[in-house]
């Protein structure tokens, strides 16, 4: 009974967050990301997966990875688990590791909408706009009528382009009057802060 309540809570938590609109049989698909449909192969594996999902929801990405790794040992072909591993590694700044997991997820399920969205977001982090657009093209193919993953990646690309087009903030030059008279320090030294000129 307790286990059933825990799994139901994990599903409810996932459904309440856009993070879990994963596509490809993820939380939004009604299954436990690779465990639904065909039944659970192992209660331990499903518990690990549910625990990982809960930790990810609370942004405890590093803590979720051991649970995902254990779940993956039982379900090595689960695109959902691989996708979450890609997500957690991306959120921790491990872009090469993240890229590997997303590519492995898509090798197992080429139509995994969540993996296409997250891979596109990773490409933006890596400043590879053309590659991100290619993932958006895949989502356009998969979602001709639109889907959450396509909308999220479209917005991320738009935001990236706006930020890239924005002029850089001007660097404030130190006014010549801020340098004390008679200062013979090199020009690369910063001028003393206002009010810091004391007797030497």
Asked, for residue 198, whether it belongs to a domain, the answer is: no
pLDDT higher at 97 or 181: 97
Q: Does the structure show a pLDDT above 50 at 88? A: yes
Whole-number pLDDT of residue 168 = 72
Token couple for 122: 């990773």
Average pLDDT over residues 61-66: 97
**pLDDT over 80 (residue 116):** yes
> Are the beta carbons of 93 and 124 closer than 8 angstroms?
no
Domain assignment of residue 181, yes or no: no
Predicted confidence band of residue 192 (pLDDT cuts 50, 70, 90): very low
Q: Which residue has the tokens 């850089």?
A: 168
CATH of the domain at 97: 1.25.40.10
What is the spatial distance between Cα 112 and Cα 147, in angstroms, rounded to a whole number?
12
Identify the pLDDT of residue 177.
Answer: 52
Which of residues 187 and 154 earns the better pLDDT score? 154
Q: Tokens 């979602």 label which residue?
A: 143
170 located within any domain: no
Pick the residue with more confidence: 36 or 82?
82
Q: How confident is the model at residue 159 (pLDDT cuts 50, 70, 90)?
A: very high
Split at pLDDT 50, 70, 90, the class of 166 is confident
> Considering its fold, how many domains does the chain have in total?
1
Q: What is the mean pLDDT of residues 106-125?
A: 98
- Would 175 be classed as within a structural domain? no
Q: Which ranges constitute the DSSP H helices of the chain?
A: 2-15, 43-57, 61-74, 79-91, 95-108, 113-125, 129-142, 148-165
Instruction: Classify residue 190: in a domain, yes or no.
Output: no
178, part of any domain: no
Tokens of 41: 């192969």
Q: What is the DSSP letter of 125?
A: H
pLDDT, position 187: 42
pLDDT digit string, tens, across residues 10-26: 433 333 333 443 444 33
**Mean pLDDT, to the nearest integer, of 152-161?**
97
pLDDT of residue 45: 55
What pLDDT score was predicted for residue 29? 31
Domain membership of residue 139 as a residue range: 2-165
């Amino acid at each position: 009974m307790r286990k059933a309540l825990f799994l139901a809570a994990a599903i409810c938590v996932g459904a309440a967050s856009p993070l879990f609109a994963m596509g490809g049989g993820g939380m939004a698909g009604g299954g436990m990301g690779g465990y639904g449909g065909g039944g659970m192969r192992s209660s331990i594996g499903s518990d690990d997966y549910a625990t990982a999902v809960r930790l990810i929801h609370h942004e405890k990405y590093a803590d979720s990875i051991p649970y995902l790794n254990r779940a993956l040992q039982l379900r090595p072909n689960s695109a959902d688990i691989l996708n979450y591993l890609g997500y957690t590694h991306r959120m921790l700044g491990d872009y090469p590791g993240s890229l590997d997991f997303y590519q492995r997820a898509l090798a197992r399920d080429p139509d995994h909408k969540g993996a296409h969205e997250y891979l596109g977001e990773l490409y933006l982090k890596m400043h590879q706009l053309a590659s991100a657009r290619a993932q958006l093209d895949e989502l356009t193919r998969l979602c001709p009528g639109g889907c959450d993953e396509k909308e999220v990646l479209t917005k991320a690309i738009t935001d990236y382009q706006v930020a890239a087009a924005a002029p850089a903030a001007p660097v404030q030059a130190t006014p010549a009057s801020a340098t004390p008279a008679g200062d013979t320090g090199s020009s690369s030294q910063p001028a003393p802060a206002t009010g810091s000129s004391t007797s030497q």
